[in-house]
Amino acid sequence: MEGELVGILGFVAMLSLVALGVPIAFSAGIVGLAGLLYLRPVGAVLSIVGGVPYHTAATYSLTVVPLFIAIGFLSFHAGITTGAFKAAKLWLGRIPGGLATATIFASAGFAAVSGSSTASTAVFTRLAVPEMEKSGYNRALAAGVCAVGGTLAALIPPSAILVIYGILVEESIGALLLAGIIPGLISLLVYAVVIAVVSFLRPEWTPQQPRVSWGEKFKSLSGVWGIFVVVGVIFAGTYFGWATPTESAALAVVVVLIMAIVAGMTWPQFREGLVDTVKTTAMIFTIIWAVHIFVRFLAFTGLTNTITNTIVELDMSPQHLMVAIVILYLLLGMVLDGLGILILTLPIIYPVVTALGFNSIWFGVLVVKLIEIGLVTPPIGLNCYIVNSVRPDIKLGEVFRGVAPFLVGEIVIVTIILFFPELVLFLPNRMN
């Protein structure tokens, strides 16, 4: 059997296992191992597969992953979440849709220290939805705001999924993290505009909040200084070349740990945060190991090179092909989680994109943005399910209705990224 055919059968087998509910790590690992055993002698396969965990885990760039995860867990105990929402509520409450906008801004602040979309969604569903309901906000809109706000963690550093993209394609982690900042801020502003438009069209959905004194507003800023410190440590160290992303993340962990201790974090909370960090890290590492095994299998089949050459030789402009790739990712985002999308597509799509001359850092940000959209689109819409699981009284259909206006904004954001790649590459091009 020709290598390309073996690769196609392997790809179909992995998709089938995923469709049957087998975890993506086991699907990729099992198919990759079986394919390698078919193509190569057992001894050679065991040597290849046996070395994958060590060579992957021993990669210096990968050490940033557990550090970013630890920042997220510790920041919760440091009270950063509550302080960010309180400050945003006081400063933005009077504008149309002020509480919803405050939730978006507070989500961005939490994203800047957590890097976890699901954690951000869960936290603000508990924190912000009751506040908006108490103020008379439409419940569907309140739920949709929390689901969409959580997606900001995928772009605003520290972003775990941008790090994983960089590891899978062997791209600079520091450059990717910097590249996500401007698109993340653009997303934040577009979401705020969507809320303003909804408030103008349906003012009864977003009642105006009472006035507060300037003294109260400035006093609330004491609860957000920690965010600026953590962001400053990560951004300054990476941008100016004073430290690697791993070193910046390690320093940020120390800063957040000190803040959490000062805020009254107990030993059981600290232990729980460390255990959760280890569990999440182990899950991510397992997925990465499985992906590397599967990628090695595809490399031996020659399928990747064949597909790349075939697509590059098509009578289509690179721009039209990129539009097709965007549509593909939007469709996949409706049925798969973010990590699953990266695992399934990058071995095939990434060589095509680089062969067409597109910048790999820009493409990484675009892919992560498209994965963000998948987090809030049916039928999967992981963030929407999280809102529903935290608040079972809010039906899933309500959450999706609340998200619907923001999907128009997502189209605008993707268009900006496609047509103005210099916005994505501005900071990476200037890093030391």
User: CA 90 → CA 101, 142, 270, 400, distances in Å?
Assistant: 11, 17, 30, 28
Residue tagged 């128009």 (tokens):
408
Helices 338-355, 303-312: axis angle to 10 degrees equals: 60
Over residues 201-218, the mean pLDDT reads: 84
Q: Which residue, 411, 361, 389, is CA-closest to 159? A: 361
- Range in 84-93, 293-302, 317-326 the model is least confident about: 84-93
> Which pTM was predicted?
0.78
Q: How far apart are CA 321 and CA 329, in angstroms?
A: 13
* Contact present, 121 and 150 (Cβ < 8 Å): yes
Q: Which residue, 359, 420, 375, 431, is CA-closest to 186? A: 420
* H helix and E strand count, the chain: 22, 0
User: What percent of the chain is predicted at pLDDT more than 90?
Assistant: 19
Q: How far apart are CA 345 and CA 154, in angstroms?
A: 18
Domain that holds residue 420: 3-430
User: What does 303-317 look like in DSSP terms, one character per residue?
Assistant: HHHHHHHHHHTSSS-
Domain count, the chain: 1
Of residues 368 and 339, more confidence is placed in: 368
User: What does 65-106 look like in DSSP terms, one character per residue?
Assistant: HHHHHHHHHHHHHTTHHHHHHHHHHHHHTTSTTHHHHHHHHH
Phi, psi angle pair for 31, to nearest 5° = -65, -45
Local confidence band at 275 (pLDDT 50, 70, 90 cut-offs): confident
* Contact present, 64 and 324 (Cβ < 8 Å): no
- Report pLDDT for 410: 94
Q: Which residues contact 254 (CB under 8 A, 6 or more apart)?
A: none
Of residues 281 and 410, more confidence is placed in: 410
